[in-house]
Amino acid sequence: MADLYGFDANAVEPSREFEPVPAGKYLAVITESEMKSNKAGTGHYLQFTFEVIDGPHKGRFLWARLNLDNPNATAVQIAKAELSAVCRAVGVLAPNDSTELHDLPLVIHVKCKKRPDTGEITNEIKGYSPKASLAESKPAAAPAGNSKPTTPPWKR
């Protein structure tokens, strides 16, 4: 039994169901990281919580699990490569603790996939890149206050 301290549902909007974010690249930061035991009890995975910090999906969370301790050597190799990509994206190449990767902006590459058990569409992080790579992929905007004509003088 839990004491709800006089909670009144009339005073709070109910939560809504979250749809997956569309596939794409998002500026994000790692807000949490935790080493957890896998379901089989044969190893551990590092779980990262990412928060989108810009754009229409700002405030949304996504998760990644890296099987850093697993009897399957291929799973460990994949996890280490993914951790390397995260480290390179945030510029911390030799962290002593996963918290050193927190609150540093990076770009997460998000895909949508169908869960085999329920058929629901879920998000999966498929890659990481430095923050600068997002700016490079967007067209450059004209500087504010630049009133110079873009037509060369010889074509006016």
What's the predicted TM-score (pTM) here?
0.78
**Inter-residue contact 65 to 75 (CB < 8 Å):** no
pLDDT digits (tens, 9 = 90+) for 5-58: 888 899 988 887 788 999 999 999 999 999 999 999 999 999 999 999 999 999
Query: How many CB atoms within 10 Å of residue 86?
Result: 25
pLDDT digits (tens, 9 = 90+) for 95-116: 999 999 999 999 999 999 999 9
